[in-house]
Amino acid sequence: MQLSTLPRTESGKLKFPGISLKAIQHKFDTQATEALKKIPLLPQLMKVISKIFTEEALYVFFTGQALRVTPNQYPRLYNVYREAIQILDLQYEPEFFLQTNEIPNAFAMGIERKFVIVTSGITDILNEEELLFVIGHELGHNKFDHMLTKTVAYVLGQIGVGVISALLGGVGQLAAISLQLGLLHWSRMAEFSADRAGFLVVQDREACLKALSKLAGYSRKYSEEGINIDEVLLQAKQLDETNLLQSFYKYVSMIQMTHPFIPYRVRELDEWIKSQEVANIFSGNYSTEEEYNRRFMGYQYPPYQQAYYPPQYPAYPPYPPYPYPQQPYVQSPYTPYQQSSQQYPSYFQGPYQSSYQSQQVAGQPQHQYYPPQQTIQQPYYQPQQGVGQPQQGAYSSNVDQSSSDQAAKE
């Protein structure tokens, strides 16, 4: 899609009509999604969880433990939420909840009935621009079709490995652990893609990088000193330069996490912000949902089914309605059998013979062709006398019958 001028919100931020976030999916997310497809027990687990787990339980929990944000309940916060939906051109509005919790957090859940939750802890440490980035991040999970897998990963994290093994019919604990670790790895990689959606909403490098940094370390007492983004990027570089023992502890620390280290997220997002891809998007040159589906998918199937269900092939033409139209019966004209005048080759001249008898000797005349009704046939199997003896003449050959007819004529 190429536009000379993009529409804007009331606050002056650019809107991206019809944008396909899958076209800007982070490569880590893409690789993790492909790896997730190869987990053999994952489809069975999804099927089992879909039967025993209902998202209504989570909905009831947050309806009872949090407040729904509406135009009449925290309208200022709701306006921030609505602006993020308009910028990403999300075709539906997930329900929005505010929960009292000192831990700064925000998450999106739901399969059919989607909702977004932010805690009071995160609204207290972020200004509205930074909060807009966090909300755009959570809405990006919706736009990237992460919701089903994110919800299942959350449920599995709550029930534990032992329950996973029992749900899958008593599979080994090692298989259950591998399944859980695969989902956690995907969850970490999906965050890199959602961070890109958050930046498209806030459209400010400093606001989004500071919002991420505050999730790692923030003090209201020293907030006037601000956060130095360059120092955070330096921490990401130091994480890459660890020795062997430090690398082992880094792996052990991160393997059970649902989100990657904050310095890594800051670095990956900062590199993408400076890329030409972002410049193209802000100039109106980006792929729409329709263009992306036509180019790469051929057919856009529902969320999560893209990762774990076989592709949906184009439908065949519909069958004719019942009853089927009756075709007129046309009787073929009867044609009596006529002997062909075709000259058969020499190896068809004569009755059935064995391969040895059919060899022609030079100088001897060829056999004459007999019509099919006069072809001499080999005698049938003659059973032993006295053992299951059939009726007389039941197994007699055509040769014997023709000899009897000849004797009767004489």
The answer to whether residues 399 and 379 touch, using CB atoms and an 8 Å cutoff, is: yes
DSSP SS3 for 96? strand
Tokens of 364: 């001897």
Q: How far apart are CA 286 and CA 84, in angstroms?
A: 18
Rounded-to-integer distance, Cα 158 and Cα 156, Å: 5
323 preceded by a cis bond (ω within 30 of 0): yes
Q: Which DSSP category does 89 fall into?
A: T
d(CA 255, CA 183): 11
Instruction: Please indicate whether residue 224 is annotated as part of the active site.
Output: no
Say if CB 231 and CB 213 are below 8 A apart: no
Cβ of 134: how many Cβ atoms within 10 Å? 27
> Given 138, 191, 268, 289, which residue is catalytic?
138
Residue whose tokens read 């064995």: 354
Minimal CA–CA distance to 58: which of 110, 129, 18?
Answer: 110
CA distances from 206 to 129, 232, 269, 321 (A): 10, 12, 11, 63
Q: Would you state the structure tokens that stand for residue 185, as one six-digit string?
A: 């790895």
Q: Tell me 295's DSSP state.
A: I
Q: Which residues are catalytic?
A: 138
